[in-house]
Structure 1
Amino acid sequence: MAVTRSLRRNNTITYVLAGGLCLFFLYFFFGDTTSIPQLPAYAAGAARHVLKSKDAAPNELSPPSLPFRKPAKLAEGERAAPPPVVHYHMNNVTITSDPVGNRESILILTPLARFYDEYWDNLVKLSFPHDLISLGFIIPKGREGNLATQQLQARIEKTQAPTNKNRFASITILRQDEEPTILQDEKDRHALSAQKERRAAMSRARNALLFTTLGPTTSWVLWLDSDIIETPPSLIQDLASHDKPLIVPNCFQRYHNKDKDAMDVRPYDFNSWVDSPTAKELAGKMGPEEIILEGYAEMATYRSLMAYMADQHGDARTEVDLDGVGGTALLVKAYVHRDGAMFPPFPFYHLIETEGFARMAARLGWKATGLPNYFVYHYNE
């Protein structure tokens, strides 16, 4: 039986309408990305950040990875604009051995009780592109904290001046609510009796700083203590080139050797180590709230310390697997922190703070690596 002309016309119109409707839904679900500004992909699989790091957030709530500039005072009855809805595609945030080439963002975090000009001078000399670097500081309450804040802000004003083309992407300063209970001078803060309380406080400070500043576009986190005053300018690129989940250089200290009557170097950080049967046996006899501390004669662990593996003339790329790490200079892939690895302020397998962090990361499947012949230097008090 022949189909009438009107029915054929209706079928054609139906197909056209159906096709148009399908195109609309495809555009609605998959094509509405042009309204979200993104950085260009610099290589296949490179990170596509939703917003450029130099932009400022229009609202203090969103997006969390950008600096917020307080808007002008609103007129009477005027309401602030709501925070924007921002989409982040986390699978597109790369963490590679070439962070410069792939334009990967790094977050440098520093717990700061005292400010050293040498620390800042070394920081601004880092050769990693500063527009990819965000800085975060946490400073204790009290007179010393106030002084450190003033000194830090004075240097920030110069470095972040609009005329300086080498300024950092953003800087966040957190002030703690409580004054430190442990004195900050060298002798008191390194006393064995003060370590559990001191390092628990340090863990809480590190966690507060991390959880406040870690943004969805962050690829790397560099923990850099405020008394690290000398590193190679290529520190970030050098550490990242090993492509390890967490990696730590050897922390030494320059000092005047009276026996030689000349400047010399000596190990400083003893928290990067390879575990030993003695330490494991010691932990097995401890109560649940006791911790093992490294570098003290009263608690001999016989661990292999990376500080004593150093060869001043050895290959700087030599690697060693570690069970504990120090935090003077520690580079971490951001997804290690996102997986839940933090700094335990409580005994975690009888370890605390950075050493506890290494154990927690290991439990999550991320192994620590040390570079015994790659050096950073601590301030000599």
Structure 2
Amino acid sequence: MPIHSSRSLRRTNPITLILLAILTFGFLYFIFSSPDGTTTTPVSGIKQAANALSPPSLPFKKVKKGQEGQQLAPPVVHYHMNNLTTSSNPIANQETVLILTPLARFYQEYWDNLLKLTYPHELISLGFILPKGKEGNAATAALQEQVQKTQKGPLKKRFASITILRQDTESPLSSQDEHERHKLENQKIRRAAMSKARNSLLFTTMGPTTSWVLWLDSDITETPPSLVQDLASHNKPIIVPNCYQRYFNKDNNKWETRPYDYNSWQDSPTAQQLAKDKLGPDDILMEGYAELPTYRSLMAYMVDDPQSNPDVGKEVLLDGVGGTALMVKAEVHRDGAMFPPFAFYHLIETEGFAKMAKRLDWQSYGLPNYFVYHYNE
């Protein structure tokens, strides 16, 4: 008995089937590709942005006037944020790191140390913000010179992207010298300006592919080359190393170290009572000044005896953190934790950030035996 095809199939014109196949292919291509022809960008992918409206953490080159062709339409890109990881093994998971630096004065030692970081540079984006004014201009010129040299150099040394922002305001201080920066009377206005700079830099540069944010001050000139993966290995939402300073002791005729950053601390009943009873709503408490005895436990003095083979991975809980080298999971910032430029529970800038993060249920940690070093002026 002969086998006959169904009536509907026999009546279908072959041309109709071909057209249906073409339309199906076109529909699938439209769904799974962006308007500029590129496919959906994976969270772990780093490549040049196709349009100026793409995430700021991806590099983008403007089309110069006179060039042929038209500006591409803004792409529609899907980011599956559930696939974005922040883990104790960031290299294996290809986690992107955004290193952010407010920069008022350029130190060559800072840049040289940055280049020595062993975290894959193709997974690192850099962001800088510099103030308006003469010193800011000089710092910008020096920074741009090193950026161009690095980004045209060996591929292994190049960073995924570099963003340089210029503020429309000058630094509130007349000088960036260390003595001037740390005068008590300059602290509130200085740290409020720093908070605004940090927030502007953060909100402009953090993109949907960012897993970690490392805040690294421009005068941090020496860190372990494995700084990024060392801090990430603890897998904490906020973690900060101990910041010390190398100096030449003329009395002993040798190089020694001393504490530098006093903003990483555990709170005390004295400080809490002082804030409650004697401070106005806009007053702030700061560490390292005899005029403001808080009796907080400072991480700078939690260092174990060097002769006892101290554990560099030792962790302590903190209520306040410094920003000289501060590692933050990007999701903490995405939750809304920023740097208050105003008195927030009598705290400001990085210490205020730790308090704000704690209010959002993110705990801060410190590494008292793990050191980074500040430039010695």
Same-fold status (TM-score > 0.5): yes
* Structural mapping, 1:230-309, within 5 Å: 230-285=222-277, 286-309=279-302
Q: Does 1:117 align with 2:108?
A: yes
Instruction: Give the deviation of 1:258 after TM superposition.
Output: 2.0
Q: Distance in 2 between matches of 1:211 and 1:347?
A: 21
Instruction: Give the deviation of 1:62 after TM superposition.
Output: 1.7
Q: Does 1:192 align with 2:184?
A: yes
Given the superposition, is the C-alpha separation of residues 75 and 329 from structure 1 closer, same or farther in structure 2, using an over 3 Å criterion? closer
Contact 2:219 2:375 in 1 (8 A): yes
Match of 1:97 in 2: 88
Given the superposition, is the C-alpha separation of residues 30 and 96 from structure 1 closer, same or farther in structure 2, using an over 3 Å criterion? farther
Match of 2:3 in 1: none
Q: Distance in 1 between matches of 2:232 and 2:57?
A: 21
Match of 1:43 in 2: none
Instruction: Give the deviation of 1:261 after TM superposition.
Output: 1.3
Q: Distance in 1 between matches of 2:302 and 2:198?
A: 28
When structure 1 is superposed on structure 2, of 174-183 and 275-284 the one drifting more is 174-183
Q: Distance in 2 between matches of 1:75 and 1:120?
A: 35
Instruction: Give the deviation of 1:358 after TM superposition.
Output: 0.2
Match of 2:14 in 1: none
Instruction: Give the deviation of 1:170 after TM superposition.
Output: 0.6
Match of 2:313 in 1: 317
Q: Secondary structure at the match of 2:168?
A: coil
Q: Distance in 2 between matches of 1:102 and 1:12?
A: 54
Instruction: Give the deviation of 1:74 after TM superposition.
Output: 4.2
When structure 1 is superposed on structure 2, of 297-306 and 286-295 the one drifting more is 286-295
| Uncovered stretches (5+) of structure 2, i.e. residues with no partner | 1-5, 12-16
Contact 1:230 1:377 in 2 (8 A): yes
Q: Distance in 1 between matches of 2:344 and 2:319?
A: 13
Work out which of the residue numbers 176, 184, 209 in structure 2 matches 1:217: 209
Instruction: Give the deviation of 1:260 after TM superposition.
Output: 1.2
Contact 1:291 1:347 in 2 (8 A): yes
Q: Does 1:49 align with 2:43?
A: yes
Q: Secondary structure at the match of 2:255?
A: strand
Match of 2:196 in 1: 204
Q: Deviations over 1:232-291 (max 9, x none)?
A: 000001000000000000000000112211100000000000000000001102211011
Match of 1:135 in 2: 126
Q: Secondary structure at the match of 1:91?
A: helix
Q: Deviations over 1:32-90 (max 9, x none)?
A: 37976467xxxxxxxx427x32x2223211233311112232469x7422111111111
Q: Deviations over 1:214-248 (max 9, x none)?
A: 01000000000000000000000100000000000
Contact 2:43 2:81 in 1 (8 A): no
Q: Does 1:168 align with 2:164?
A: no
Aligned residues: 357
Instruction: Give the deviation of 1:28 after TM superposition.
Output: 6.2
Q: Distance in 1 between matches of 2:299 and 2:218?
A: 21
| Uncovered stretches (5+) of structure 1, i.e. residues with no partner | 1-7, 40-47
Given the superposition, is the C-alpha separation of residues 31 and 122 from structure 1 closer, same or farther in structure 2, using an over 3 Å criterion? same
Q: Secondary structure at the match of 1:178?
A: strand
Letter aligned with residue 74 of structure 2: P
Contact 2:57 2:125 in 1 (8 A): no
Contact 2:32 2:39 in 1 (8 A): no
Q: Deviations over 1:160-182 (max 9, x none)?
A: 11544321111000001011111
TM-score normalised per structure 2: 0.88
Q: Percent identity?
A: 65
Q: Secondary structure at the match of 1:177?
A: strand
Instruction: Give the deviation of 1:314 after TM superposition.
Output: 1.1
Contact 1:247 1:371 in 2 (8 A): yes
Contact 1:255 1:264 in 2 (8 A): yes
Letter aligned with residue 229 of structure 1: T
Q: Secondary structure at the match of 1:356?
A: helix
Q: Distance in 1 between matches of 2:226 and 2:354?
A: 24
Match of 2:361 in 1: 365
Letter aligned with residue 357 of structure 1: F
TM-score normalised per structure 1: 0.88
Contact 1:222 1:329 in 2 (8 A): yes
Q: Distance in 1 between matches of 2:182 and 2:116?
A: 30
Q: Secondary structure at the match of 1:373?
A: strand
Q: Distance in 1 between matches of 2:261 and 2:144?
A: 28
Q: Distance in 1 between matches of 2:33 and 2:61?
A: 26
Q: Does 1:347 align with 2:343?
A: yes
Match of 1:330 in 2: 326
Given the superposition, is the C-alpha separation of residues 11 and 131 from structure 1 closer, same or farther in structure 2, using an over 3 Å criterion? closer
Given the superposition, is the C-alpha separation of residues 61 and 31 from structure 1 closer, same or farther in structure 2, using an over 3 Å criterion? closer
Q: Distance in 1 between matches of 2:321 and 2:133?
A: 30
